[in-house]
Amino acid sequence: MKITYSIIAPIFNEKENLPVLHRRVTEVLNSIGEPWELILVDDGSTDGSTGIIRELAKQDQHIRPVIFARNFGHQVAVTAGLDYSRGDAVVIIDADLQDPPELILEMAKKWKEGNEVVFAVRAEREGESWFKLWTASLFYRIIYRITDVKIPLDTGDFRLMDRKVVNVMNQMRERHRFLRGMSAWVGFKQVGVEYKRAARKAGETKYPFRKMFRLAINAVTGFSYFPLQVATFFGFMSASLAIIAIPVVAVLRLTNTHFFEGQTTTLVAVLFLGGVQLISLGVLGEYIGRLYDEAKGRPLYIVREAPED
Ligand code: UDP
Ligand code: MG
């Protein structure tokens, strides 16, 4: 069967949100009146979401469940959704209803006008802590600055992508994924639509600080060498400082000026350089670890149950 719209929702312990998500997506998509599917990717839920997904799939032919063998993380769950999607247009949406399904109507309109990526821009956010708002805003701006791809500011993964874009994305099998960066990287005709990001419908965020931090590191390492260049920069800085300092110290010594006395200077210099070196090693380590992961070539995710068709 030919599908026009594939909606992908990653699910990690969202049992309270699933029925509402299903209802609202169904309403919106039925109002468009073209064939659609809803791909629910169960990312190792432990709260019974898996059972609800199976149940919904039995009642509604539109639902295609992809059930993971364990938790692989949000970005990988969405990737699996992209792999299984068949639609001419693919929409990625959060299952917690922070992304209003009703916006799909507007996205679809922009897509019909010939845009190949329609991303949703968060004009306003509800019900989030100032810490999250502040770190998110800082994050988007740093990424914008230091990466070579111009990833639109204040956009999440909520977006519609044309089949052409999805096909390219599906060829990008990198392990540490940052989908919004990847979808900006491919090019094509991109446009944003603004929306008000609602508060989470039920449950708690599945993105604790640790996961957010990892995502940020993936974004940076995936799209830029900037951290490696910072190490080079500090290297040149301290080397230049040393070159200036050598004659100065020599002259002071020869003229018997007791300017540098005690060991404080030495200690501070050693600590500073030691710190810079360790940080640079750590940065190198991040990139090498990623190289190693890629070299192992393990599958991105393991599926326990794939859609039947
Ligand atoms: N999610 C997932 N796997 C994870 C973490 C999150 O599939 O390991 C899903 C989650 O169920 C939700 C979406 O990713 O549908 C976004 O997560 P969340 O709403 O917790 O993130 P936040 O909006 O707080 O940044
Ligand atoms: Mg959320």
The residue whose C-alpha atom lies closest to atom 25 belonging to ligand 1 is 207
pLDDT (mean) for 110-137: 86
| pLDDT, tens digit, 9 for 90 and up, residues 185-217 | 998 999 999 988 888 888 888 888 888 888 888
Alpha-carbon 295 to chain mean position: 22
Element (H, E) at 148: none
**C-alpha to C-alpha distances, 261 to 158, 264, 278, nearest whole angstrom:** 61, 8, 28
pLDDT (mean) for 246-261: 79
pLDDT (mean) for 271-300: 91
CB of 108 closer than 8 Å to CB of 162:
no
| pLDDT, tens digit, 9 for 90 and up, residues 54-84 | 999 999 999 999 999 999 999 999 999 999 9
pLDDT of 1 > 80? The answer is: no
- Local confidence band at 150 (pLDDT 50, 70, 90 cut-offs): confident
**244 CA distance to ligand 1 middle (Å):** 52
Percent share of the chain, pLDDT over 90: 56
pLDDT of 309 > 70? The answer is: no
Of the bound ligands, which one is closest to the alpha carbon of residue 128?
1
pLDDT at 145: 87
Q: Which of 11-15, 46-50, 203-207 has the least mean pLDDT?
A: 203-207
Question: Does ligand 1 lie within 6 Å of residue 205's CB atom?
Answer: yes
> Which backbone phi and psi does 214 adopt, to 5 degrees?
-60, -40
- Local confidence band at 261 (pLDDT 50, 70, 90 cut-offs): low
pLDDT of 26 > 80? The answer is: yes
Question: Does ligand 1 lie within 6 Å of residue 95's CB atom?
Answer: yes
- Local confidence band at 259 (pLDDT 50, 70, 90 cut-offs): low
pLDDT (mean) for 80-96: 96
pLDDT at 207: 84
| 78 CA: nearest ligand 1 atom | 7
124 by DSSP, 3-state: which? strand
pLDDT (mean) for 99-109: 94
More confident residue, 56 or 238: 56
The residue whose C-alpha atom lies closest to atom 19 belonging to ligand 1 is 205
CA atoms within 13 A on the CB side of 48: 4
Question: Does ligand 1 lie within 6 Å of residue 99's CB atom?
Answer: no
Element (H, E) at 215: helix 209-223
pLDDT of 143 > 90? The answer is: no
pLDDT (mean) for 130-153: 84
The residue whose C-alpha atom lies closest to atom 3 belonging to ligand 1 is 74
pLDDT of 290 > 90? The answer is: yes
pLDDT of 247 > 90? The answer is: no
CB of 47 closer than 8 Å to CB of 15:
yes
| pLDDT, tens digit, 9 for 90 and up, residues 153-191 | 888 899 999 999 999 999 999 999 999 999 999 989 999
Left, alpha or beta for 114 (phi > 0: left; psi -120 to 50: alpha)? left
User: Which among 24, 164, 43, 177 has a CA at the least distance from the CA of 104?
Assistant: 24
Strands 36-42 and 5-11: parallel
CA atoms within 13 A on the CB side of 209: 5
pLDDT at 254: 85
Question: What separation, in Å, do the N-terminal and C-terminal C-alpha atoms of the chain show?
Answer: 10
97: CB partners within 8 A, 6+ apart? 17, 20, 21, 24, 198, 200, 201
SS3 content of the chain, % helix, strand, coil (to 5): 50, 15, 30
DSSP string, 54-113: HHHHHH-TTEEEEEESS---HHHHHHHHHHH---SEEEE--TTSSS-TTHHHHHHHHHHT
pLDDT at 260: 64
pLDDT of 234 > 70? The answer is: yes
Percent share of the chain, pLDDT over 70: 98
